[in-house]
Amino acid sequence: MACSRDDSGAEPPPSQPERYQAVRIGALLPLTGVQAPTGVAARQLLAHRLEELNRRHSDSSYSFELEVVDTESDAAVAQLAFEELADDGVKVMIGPFSDAEIKAIRSLSNEKGVLVASPSSSAVVFSADDNILRFVPDDGVQAAAIVDLVRVSGVRSIAQVWRDDPGNAGLQAAVGAEFEALGGAMLEPLSYTADATEFEPVVQALSDEVVAALNVVGPANASTIGVVLASEDEVPQLLTLAAAAPGLRDVRWFGASGLARNPELVANPSAAEFATQVGLPSPIFGLDPAAKERWGPVVDRVQAQTGVRPDAVALAAYDALDVVVAAIVEIAFPAVEADEEDVRELRTEAISQSLILEGLTGPLKLNDFGDRATGVFDFWSVCPAPAGYEWRKTAVWTPGPDGFTGGTITGTATC
């Protein structure tokens, strides 16, 4: 199957020196499928930013061309698109987005000598000295945000339920370790397989645990017990079952990024009603409200052009392009026939550039693994709406001095 390309790069400006090198940058974007709104916004952001960068570097020896391929929000399609671009000589790519897509192309990026800048992969298991740069914080930072909110909410013991895949398993481990390190108590963790279709056993086990904990603390202290749920598309089924299970309405619930703003959840009356009662604030990588003067005009422009309001992940793609272009120019990266050593030098320089560049999404500092060191997280909750239920941003977490726990929660995390 061949992948459909959209060559969105501008032609070299007339003033470009004859010696210019046209650097091809791949963009593996989810233009269709479940992540399409983010991918469509990212395409517009990247095309506009590329024009600006070509003008900025018009007196250098470089011109930049963007080659966009739709991953269809599918890991197998993303892998095929990656291989086609890499085999055609593309050495730098923005995207793909999801952890599943990164898993599909991770070893290939090293084998084929391609630098990949992902705007949204966050699984801790993928933190490594490889050719993948990730422009959102890994799940260790998300875990810190969740733990801070759990503690501020007065919860002192938690039960964890998670989908057993690399991203959610890593998040579960990070939340548990951080919560226990700060004196919290953990109930027995519960998981289900990524391909599960029946969730009665895990909900029943959770109900049994919570009821036992409630019997120990007493009804007056039910608010000190919480559930942290790291789920994906199956969340409506899980919550529908939980709504009818003993004890589970009596405690506080917290979500993870995999279920935040899930449209199927708010479309399911039983699951949504339960979520409004138990809380379920769920974090996603967000934008610093204090920096709105920087990102606000860009967001408004893209929304006017596409009808889609770009989120922080789409803006992270824009920032990733800035970093890789700055690194290409700084080291005089060869546009043609770059080898493995050239790509590794580019990776090192990209990390150095991230330390000095301020992006639309804030300071871009990447750590030694090429992962964003920290960032802001928005918490979204399911709230009643005139026509049923809707997701609303109810709190913002800004990191503590070390980028992790001890951060500040602004907002109530309730509707």
φ, ψ at 302 (rounded to 5°): -65, -40
CA-closest candidate to residue 153, choices 393, 415, 412, 398: 412
DSSP string across 321-374 = HHHHHHHHHHHT--SSS--HHHHHHHHHHHHHHHTT-EETTEE--B-TTSEE--
Q: Cα–Cα distance between 307 and 159 in angstroms, integer? A: 40
Do 277 and 317 belong to one domain? no
Mean of pLDDT values over 160-167? 90
**What Cα–Cα distance (Å) separates residue 104 from each residue in 79, 83, 101, 135?**
6, 11, 5, 18
- Looking at the structure, do residues 190 and 253 belong to the same domain, yes or no? yes
Per-residue model confidence (pLDDT) at position 404: 77
Kindly report the average pLDDT of the chain as a whole number.
Answer: 92
Same domain? 365 vs 380? no
> What is the percent of the chain where pLDDT is above 90?
79
Report the C-alpha gap between 229 and 241 in whole angstroms: 14
Q: 250 and 233 in one domain? A: yes
Q: Is the pLDDT of residue 12 over 80?
A: no
CATH of the domain at 128: 3.40.50.2300
Please tell me the predicted confidence (pLDDT) of residue 7: 52
Are 157 and 251 in a shared domain?
Answer: yes
pLDDT-derived band of residue 123, with 50, 70 and 90 as boundaries? confident
Same structural domain for residues 298 and 264?
Answer: no
231-253 pLDDT, tens per residue? 988 999 999 999 999 999 999 99
What's the whole-number mean pLDDT along residues 89-115? 95
Count CB atoms within 10 A of the CB of residue 7: 9
> At residue 389, does pLDDT exceed 70?
yes
Both 312 and 392 in one domain: the answer is: no
How much is the average pLDDT of 217-228? 96
Q: How would residue 5 be classed by pLDDT, with cut points 50, 70 and 90? A: low
Assign 14 a pLDDT band (cuts: 50, 70, 90): very low
Starting at the earlier edge strand, list the strands of the sheet with 282-285.
282-285, 377-385, 388-398, 408-411
Instruction: Give, for 318, the enclosing helix (H) or strand (E).
Output: helix 312-331
* pLDDT tens digits along 262-276: 989 999 999 999 999
Which secondary-structure segment (H or E) carries 5? Answer: strand 5-7
- Statement to judge: residues 260 and 354 lie in one domain: no
Contact (CB, 8 A) for 283 and 146 = yes
Report the pLDDT value the prediction gives residue 392, as an integer from 0 to 100: 95
| Percent with pLDDT over 70 in the chain | 95
Tell me what pLDDT residue 20 has: 62
In this prediction the pTM is 0.86
The predicted model gives 174-188 an average pLDDT of 94
Burial (Cβ within 10 Å: 0-12, 13-18, ≥19) of residue 377: buried
Q: Is the pLDDT of residue 2 over 50?
A: no
3-state helix, strand, coil split of the chain in percent (to 5) is: 45, 25, 35
Do 403 and 257 lie in a common domain?
A: yes
pLDDT tops 80 at residue 182? yes
Query: Predicted confidence band at 205 (pLDDT cuts at 50, 70, 90)?
Result: very high
Report the pLDDT value the prediction gives residue 300, as an integer from 0 to 100: 95
Residues 57-67 pLDDT 10s:
888 788 999 99
Which residue from 254, 279, 260, 277 is spatially nearest to 175, judged by alpha carbons?
254
Q: Based on the domain organization, do 166 and 233 belong to the same domain?
A: yes
Name the band, by pLDDT with cuts 50, 70 and 90, for residue 1. very low
Residues 352 and 300 in one domain: yes
Q: Identify the DSSP state of 22.
A: E
- Are residues 390 and 332 located together in one domain of the fold? no
Q: How many domains does the chain have?
A: 2
Contact assessment for residue 405 and residue 147, using Cβ atoms and an 8 Å cutoff: yes
Neighbours of 334 (CB within 10 A): 14
Residues 169 and 160 sit within 8 Å (Cβ to Cβ): no
Tell me the average pLDDT across 5-9.
53
Question: Residue 392: exposed, middle, or buried by beta-carbon count in 10 A (0-12, 13-18, 19+)?
Answer: middle
Domain that residue 312 falls in = 5-137+289-372
| Confidence band, pLDDT 50/70/90 cuts, at residue 329 | very high
Phi/psi of residue 407, nearest 5 degrees: -80, -175
pLDDT of residue 6: 62
DSSP string, 388-415: EEEEEEEEEEE--TTSSSS-EEEE-S--
Q: What is the mean pLDDT of residues 192-218?
A: 96
For the chain, report the end-to-end CA distance as a whole number of angstroms: 47
